[in-house]
Amino acid sequence: MLAMPIADLLRERIGLDPASLGADAIASAVRQRMQAVECGRVEAYERQVQSSEREFEELLGVVLVPETWFFRGCAAFELLRHFVANEWRPANPLGTLRVLSAPCCTGEEPYSIAMTLLHAGLPPTAFKVDGVDISREFIAKARRAEYRAHAFRNEGQEFARPYVIHAGDKIHLQPEAVASVEFAAANLLDSGALQERGRYSVVFCRNLLIYLHTRAREQVLALVDRLLEPGGLLFAGHAELLQRPGYRPMTPLGAFAYRRTDKQAPLDGVDLQTKASTPLGRPSRPPSHVYPPRLSPAGPARKSQRGIVVPPLRSEAAAGEESLARARELANAGRLVEAASLCERRLSADGPCARTYCLLGEVCAAAGDLARAEDCLNKALYLDSGLVEALVHLSLLAHKRGDAHAAAHFRQRAARLSRRAPKPRLSKR
């Protein structure tokens, strides 16, 4: 048998874009497995992986990224709760909500979904959550539903407490949180994957697309198209903003959720009020009343070079946080002019701030002022080179300009940072 380089094999079978893992990741995984099976020649190992399903799975165990935790990207779960309590349940008082978590890794995401649905007032009999992942090993762990405290590193989900049982250094879940969750191993790239499943009202497909090459991403999204019902919600990862006909971004922007739109899709008060009010939607001319005036350049009250910004006093910092949160609320409500001017005021009062520039960039992009958006996002990155949101939005804007190379560059930087920093990274300013 002709040996196929491992990177090509992974590309073909699981859709992996080897560059997304970093330069040496695959080579070091291969070295690790060659040592484990005592194989001295790369060609011989390549042949072994190609012919042995078992060794291929062992290799996947080293290559795949099992990074996940409970309530990761918690805004998504809050939006899910809102959707279920205010829209889905009133429309389906006797129905069963079907949710897909794919990929689900070791189960933290589907169980977080289940706890959120219980919190939204659904009894376990009123919903079913399916978790799917390519790794049998991860699926077996998910079924065991046994975790370490670190899996609950996100704080603030007080409502989840009643479903969590501490047993020594382990954590288990109460029966009602696991009763309606089922798992299956499947490759989302298989054309027959999940063939027998019906449609879902909600699909979580988070933190997979960033690892895939373009064709594989399209295959996975085609699967989502097949499985998600019209009007249903798709949740993507924060580095995976979607530009896809038939999907409309929803607020809050930080939930990275999309409404599957078609003629029957209900109008909802949660979606962005203007279709142009997001960098993610297809460009269309925004209504004039939401188009922000050309904003005057934010005159930096303090020096803008990295590292020499004087930290504000505590009370100032708290006020700043509040006004930034308020600006985001306004942006999420589609009140772009007000959001932009609040950001501007904050910048001129407090000096340069990465997160404010980032939000202003998002707002300008939402309003269609793409040049100004890029300018603000670049300033945000200059102040904080680890600001993933800024990278993600710059990637989208580059994509819109048709600069695929820059788009990929920003996306890869965002993906690298996301892998490195499991906790949401908060810039100091």
Interface residue list for ligand SAM (CB under 6 A): 14-15, 64-68, 72, 103, 105, 109, 133-135, 138, 187-189, 206-208, 237
Do residues 232 and 201 lie in contact, with contact meaning Cβ atoms separated by under 8 Å?
A: yes
Nearest distance in Å: CB 334, ligand SAM: 28
Measured from the CB atom, the residue of 127 and 183 that comes closer to ligand SAM is 183
Select 194 or 383, whichever has its Cβ closest to ligand SAM: 194
The CB-of-127 to ligand SAM minimum distance in angstroms stands at: 18
Kind of pairing between the strands at 228-236 and 200-205? parallel
- In the three-class reduction of DSSP (H, G, I as helix; E, B as strand; rest coil), residue 235 is classed as strand
Closest distance to ligand SAM from the beta carbon of 153 (Å): 12
With a CB cutoff of 8 Å and minimum separation 6, the contacts of 428 are 311, 384
Q: Which is nearer to ligand SAM, 326 or 425 (CB)?
A: 425
- Amino acid type, 392: V
d(CA 274, CA 184): 39
Side chain identity at 71, as an amino acid letter?
F
Q: Which two tokens stand for residue 59?
A: 């290799």
Tokens of 406: 């820059």
- The 10 Å Cβ neighbour count of residue 326 is 14
CB 190 → ligand SAM: shortest distance, Å?
8
> Which residue number, 68 or 180, has a Cβ lying nearer to ligand SAM?
68
Comparing CB distances to ligand SAM, the nearer of 207 and 332 is 207
In the complex, the smallest distance separating the C-beta of residue 87 from ligand SAM, rounded to whole angstroms, is 23
Burial class (CB in 10 A: 0-12, 13-18, 19+), 269: exposed
CB of 192 to ligand SAM, least distance (A): 13
CA distances from 335 to 163, 250, 331, 361 (A): 38, 14, 5, 15
CB of 166 to ligand SAM, least distance (A): 22
Q: What sign has the CA pseudo-torsion 324, 328, 333, 335?
A: positive
Q: Which amino acid is at 385?
A: S
CA nearest 118: which of 171, 170, 181? 181
Comparing CB distances to ligand SAM, the nearer of 112 and 274 is 112
CB atoms near residue 2 (< 10 Å): 7
Q: Give strand pairing partners of 249.
A: 258
Which is nearer to ligand SAM, 21 or 373 (by Cβ)? 21
- The distance of closest approach from Cβ of residue 70 to ligand SAM in the complex, given in angstroms and rounded to an integer, is 9
Q: Judged by CB, which is closer to ligand SAM: 74, or 387? A: 74
